[in-house]
Amino acid sequence: MQTMTPQVQRLTVPALHRDGDVPPSAMDEGWLFVFGSNLAGRHGAGAALVAAERYGAQNGVGEGAFASSYAVPTKGHALEVLPLTAITEHVERFVLWANAHPERKYWLTRGGCGLAGYSNDQIAPLFTGLRVQRLSITAQWMPYWVAALNRGPAVRICFQLQLDRQLYSNVDRRLLSSGGLLSQYCFA
């Protein structure tokens, strides 16, 4: 009888960031700023405005990569909030695109949780299919990432984090405590 060696999957989150923070310099650092948008491509408020002013988001482009940004629609052409099923489809397209471009660095904003009004519980899990090595997520989304990884098959996962001490206080410590997930995750 053959014994199976558990597969090791290594996911690296190079940084956690506070909601509202932006990469130091998208052009110099190579970050792709991922933000919630509207299908009309009117980037006039919130992270969409930041994307237009700092990361090259193009007016009239409501979805996809442009310059150092990626627009994920959470509102429609008339700026109405999209249903969660539609947002899920847009996020799935982004996840497929990002996983096909692992050489990029991704800075996720809480797209859909601001002006569109959805909660972290509704939006964060949609992004957990990302399997890129260079990713920065808001500290508020870390519990969803850890929970999604823990639901996977019996796989030993080494999840390396470089946690800023101030951001660490925003992460639910119960998820990271011994007896919880530390037996499955290695922290470097």
pLDDT in tens, 99-108: 999 889 899 9
Average pLDDT in the 59-77 region? 96
Q: Model confidence at 162, in pLDDT bands (50, 70, 90)? A: very low
- Sheet containing 64-66, strands listed edge to edge, beginning at the edge strand earlier in sequence: 15-17, 135-138, 105-108, 31-38, 69-75, 64-66
Write down the pLDDT at residue 18: 81
Domains of the chain, by residue range, sit at: 8-176
Name the one residue in this structure whose structure tokens are 């471009």. Answer: 101
The pTM assigned to this predicted structure is 0.75
CB of 13 within 8 A of CB of 143? no
CB-CB neighbours of 152 under 10 Å = 11
Q: Model confidence at 9, in pLDDT bands (50, 70, 90)? A: very low
More confident residue, 181 or 61: 61
Q: Quick: pLDDT tens for 83-101.
A: 999 999 999 999 999 999 9
Question: Rounded to the nearest 5 degrees, what angle is found at the Cα of 36, between the Cα atoms of 164 and 95?
Answer: 75
Write down the pLDDT at residue 23: 80
Domain range 8-176, its CATH number among 3.90.1150.10, 3.40.605.10, 3.40.220.10, 3.50.50.60 = 3.40.220.10
Q: Quick: pLDDT tens for 115-131.
A: 999 999 999 999 988 88
- CA-to-CA distance for 26 and 47, rounded, in angstroms? 14
Q: If you count them, how many residues does the chain have?
A: 188
CB of 114 within 8 A of CB of 47? yes
Write down the pLDDT at residue 83: 97
CB of 69 within 8 A of CB of 51? yes
Give me Rg for the CA atoms of the chain: 17
Residue 51 in this model has a pLDDT that exceeds 70: yes
Listed range (117-126, 141-150, 163-172) with the worst mean pLDDT? 163-172
Residue 149 in this model has a pLDDT that exceeds 60: yes
Write down the pLDDT at residue 188: 32
Nearest to 129 by CA among 83, 106, 102, 96: 96
